[in-house]
Structure 1
Amino acid sequence: MSEVKLATETRTEFGKGAARRVRRENKVPGVLYGHGTDPVHVTLPGHELLLALRTPNVLLALDIEGKTELAIPKAVQRDPLKGFLEHVDLLLVKRGEKVNVDIPVHTEGELAAGGNLLEHVLNALPVEAEATHIPEAVTVSVEGLEAGASVLAKDITLPKGVSLAVDEDAVVLQVLAAQAEEPTAEGAEAEGAETAEA
């Protein structure tokens, strides 16, 4: 996976007022932690970070005071209405280090005919992978699956060097039978009225 380089500044002001000032400058407050070190409060460029976060589990190369640190996003807070970034928690990682992350599950193919529904029991699959080789997603074929069928974690083919961080028998996807439409109360009343007239 590619690294995204971000110019990062440390910050010494905290609290809501300081965070608002940071955001007014189109920057995002964040905290960098991991490897038993004290958390470092940082400021990141807002637009560049927003673009980087479009890639799940993106690897960030943070340029902090002339030193480069690698990190992955662990928690991202967004404004619930406007969607802009409010805060980000970043986990320090090293090359070759294994980390636990959730990767998106994508599907391909068509279910068997019959109007059945595909339920994502797990939208993301917990895996352990090298910090610098985290897959962006896994793709699962649901071609021809019938009602009652399910896809377990162990059924999903993972890239080399990636292992499950969840019970191998955990259900990831399942096919639900199409439900027959029940007559609505209004429809039932109308039918009853027609019967009475007859």
Structure 2
Amino acid sequence: MAEIKLSAEQRTEFGKGAARRIRRDNKVPAVLYGHGTDPVHVTLPGHDTMLALKTANALLAIDLGSDNHLAIPKAVQRDPLKGFIEHVDLLIVKRGEKVTVDIAINIVGEPEPGVLVVTENASVALEVEATHIPTDIEVSIAGLQQGSQVLASDLDLPEGASLAVEDDLMILNLTHAPTAAEVDAELEGAEAEAGIERDETEAETSEAETPEPESEQG
């Protein structure tokens, strides 16, 4: 993974008021920590940080004046309504060091017809080199049949990576894809158990109200 360079400034103001002022200046408050060092509180450029964090587990090269750090995002706080970044926790890493990160599962291909793919885990924890973090793990389901399963041990891991979870962690479960009739029958059963009566459809109502044709008299 290529390094994404960000220029940082050390900050000495803290608290909600200071954070609001920082964000008004289109900057993001952040903290750098790790390797037994005291946390370093910094501000990052807002737009560049937003673009950088669109990449999962981005490797950031933080330029802090005379100091330079490699870091990965460990926690990103966003405004729940507007979505802008409120604060970032950055873990300092070293070249050659291994870190544990969650890697997204990327499903490719199509199973056999009539098979429903259930994602039990959308990501998997791996131990990887900090400077070689994969963007995702590709899993092919091409031609797989009902009853197939994909476990963590089945994943094709990149060189140097190892699982940080149990081998039998289920990633994907392939089951029978219910038909529309089966879904409707299950829904009717659930409604009946709950004491819910369905309204007649317009077609059923129209059919019930249509009078029988009179027979011709000879």
Show the counterpart of 2:152: 153
Q: Which has the higher strand share?
A: 1
**Correspondence 1:143 to 2:142:** yes
In structure 1, give the amino acid aligned to 2:132.
H
**Correspondence 1:181 to 2:180:** no
- RMSD across aligned positions (CA): 2.0
TM-score, with length taken from structure 1? 0.91
Larger radius of gyration: 2
Show the counterpart of 2:99: 99
- The CA deviation string for residues 70-119 of structure 1, in whole angstroms up to 9 with x for no partner, is 000011111112111111110000000000001111010002101x3222
Distance in 2 of aligned mates of 1:156 and 1:186? 49
Ranges of 4+ aligned residues in structure 1 off by more than 3 Å = 183-188
**Count of residue pairs the alignment pairs up:** 193
Distance in 1 of aligned mates of 2:2 and 2:172? 29
Show the counterpart of 2:27: 27
Following TM superposition, by how much is the alpha carbon of 1:50 offset from its aligned partner in structure 2, in angstroms?
0.8
Show the counterpart of 2:213: none
- The CA deviation string for residues 113-159 of structure 1, in whole angstroms up to 9 with x for no partner, is 01x32222111110000000111111000112223221000101011
Distance in 1 of aligned mates of 2:105 and 2:113? 23
Q: Which has the higher contact order (CA 8 A, sep 6+)?
A: 1
Following TM superposition, by how much is the alpha carbon of 1:187 offset from its aligned partner in structure 2, in angstroms?
5.9
Distance in 2 of aligned mates of 1:74 and 1:33? 10
Distance in 2 of aligned mates of 1:117 and 1:186? 31
DSSP 3-state at the match of 1:182: helix
Distance in 1 of aligned mates of 2:55 and 2:132? 13
Distance in 1 of aligned mates of 2:44 and 2:184? 54
Show the counterpart of 2:52: 52
DSSP 3-state at the match of 1:181: helix
In structure 1, give the amino acid aligned to 2:166.
D
Calculate percent identity across the aligned residue pairs. 57
In structure 2, give the amino acid aligned to 1:142.
I
Distance in 1 of aligned mates of 2:116 and 2:23? 42
Distance in 2 of aligned mates of 1:17 and 1:119? 45
**Correspondence 1:87 to 2:109:** no
User: Which residues of structure 2 form unaligned runs of 5+?
Assistant: 189-197, 209-218
User: Which residues of structure 1 form unaligned runs of 5+?
Assistant: none
DSSP 3-state at the match of 2:51: helix
In structure 1, give the amino acid aligned to 2:49.
L
